[in-house]
Amino acid sequence: MTKRRNFLKKSLAAAAGAIIAPHLHASGAAPEAPIMDERSGQLMLSVLSYSFHGLRRRGMMDIFHFMETCKYRYQLNTADLWSGHLDSLDDEYIMKVKEALDERELFIPNIACDGPHVLGRTAEETESNYKLAWRYLEAARKLGKVGFVRIDSGPPIREQLEWTDEEFDFMVNRYREYAQFAYDNGFKAGAENHMGPSRYWPSMKKLVQAVDHPGFGICNHIGGWHGTDEEKDRGDRESAPYTVHTHIAWNITEGPLVEKLTYLRDAGYPGYYSVEHHTARFELARTAIQLAKVRAVLLNWAAGGDGSFTSR
């Protein structure tokens, strides 16, 4: 661990000038958000494997079945992984996962890591989580074809909307460490509006601006912000320039989908549009509905429309 920390100190100094910024050109304009994946020519579309946590719990879908589902049922070139689908982080298992991904020519837009949140409830939990986070980051490096690794901020206290100064400084340093490793290995790492103060946009905004690193980004669980409908919408809109991955739930695909995705497109969003289903019932069919609705928006954009189901 000491060697890793020394390496990271040197790497952090080397990246000091390459700070995180919204998805803007030097001119100040947002770049055009990609709709098609350059690797495959397919849409920038994915599904998080948590969508099938009910099947997983019943022993009916392991990670390899999930890959088959992405590739052949949904015709995707992506497999958005939830840590609950990984049976192990040992090298032998991770190499099997890599082999299966390579065989199916699948890219991993995101690994959503439940468990290694930066701030635990106790110092002992925080240190244990730190060690676990590094195992996930190392797994991402070994898998090779990864866009983003989500490590929650913590602490796991839903009602807490702001970090203490001590918590905040500690967390910023941890995220810089993770972001530098990710940057050096061709992916990004960061938080999601998923736990504690990170669900409150003013707190998440403060975090993004403080970490200030090109290897850091956020996953927006669209509509998942704390507050009124107006505050949630503000979070979706203002976080778009910093967002590198998304989770799009049923309430969004059945509601303000075009509006929410347009925030991302207009900000030059570089990532995949990833759906997440939650009910643990009829998961294959319901996830297909969500994918179809997001696919329709992307195809409409590709045809020059505004994304709505009445244009083009």
Task: Please answer whether residues 225 and 232 qualify as being in contact, where contact means their C-beta atoms are separated by less than 8 angstroms.
Answer: yes
- Whether 65 has a pLDDT exceeding 90, the answer reads yes
Q: How far apart are CA 111 and CA 78, in angstroms?
A: 12
Residue 195 neighbours by CB under 8 Å, 6+ apart? 117, 152, 153, 154, 155, 156, 158
DSSP 119: S
Average pLDDT over residues 186-195: 97
- Whether 28 has a pLDDT exceeding 60, the answer reads no
pLDDT at 16 (0 to 100)? 38
pLDDT at 30 (0 to 100)? 66
DSSP class per residue in 39-107? TTSSBSEEEBGGGGHHHHHTTS--HHHHHHIIIIIS--SB-BEEGGG-S--SHHHHHHHHHHHHHHT-B
Q: How far apart are CA 222 and CA 273, in angstroms?
A: 11
pLDDT at 15 (0 to 100)? 43
Output the CATH code of domain 43-302. 3.20.20.150
Task: Please answer whether residues 50 and 245 qualify as being in contact, where contact means their C-beta atoms are separated by less than 8 angstroms.
Answer: no
159: phi then psi, degrees, rounded to nearest 5 = -80, -15
Average pLDDT of every residue of the chain: 92
Which structure tokens are listed for 179?
């972001």
pLDDT at 3 (0 to 100)? 42
- Whether 196 has a pLDDT exceeding 70, the answer reads yes
- Whether 69 has a pLDDT exceeding 60, the answer reads yes
Average pLDDT over residues 27-56: 88
Tens of pLDDT, residue by residue over 157-180, are: 888 999 999 999 999 999 999 999
Q: Classify strands 188-192 and 216-221 as parallel, antiparallel or unpaired.
A: parallel
Q: How far apart are CA 58 and CA 91, in angstroms?
A: 26
Task: Please answer whether residues 77 and 39 qualify as being in contact, where contact means their C-beta atoms are separated by less than 8 angstroms.
Answer: yes
pLDDT at 304 (0 to 100)? 93
Which structure tokens are listed for 301?
């954009």
Residue 38 pLDDT grade (very low, low, confident, very high; cuts 50, 70, 90): confident
pLDDT at 14 (0 to 100)? 40
3-state helix, strand and coil shares in percent for the chain, rounded to the nearest 5: 50, 15, 40
33-39 contacts, C-beta under 8 A, 24 or more apart: 33/264, 33/265, 33/266, 33/267, 33/268, 33/269, 33/270, 34/270, 35/298, 35/301, 35/302, 36/302, 37/77, 37/78, 37/107, 37/272, 39/77, 39/107
* Residue type present at position 257: L
- Whether 17 has a pLDDT exceeding 50, the answer reads no
- Whether 31 has a pLDDT exceeding 80, the answer reads no
Which structure tokens are listed for 122?
């106790």
Average pLDDT over residues 236-244: 98
Which sequence spans correspond to the domains of the chain? 43-302
Average pLDDT over residues 267-283: 97
Query: What DSSP element (H or E) covers 290?
Result: helix 283-302
CA atoms within 13 A on the CB side of 279: 11
Is the Cα torsion angle 218, 251, 75, 87 positive or negative in sign?
positive
Tens of pLDDT, residue by residue over 205-235, are: 999 999 999 999 999 999 999 999 999 999 9
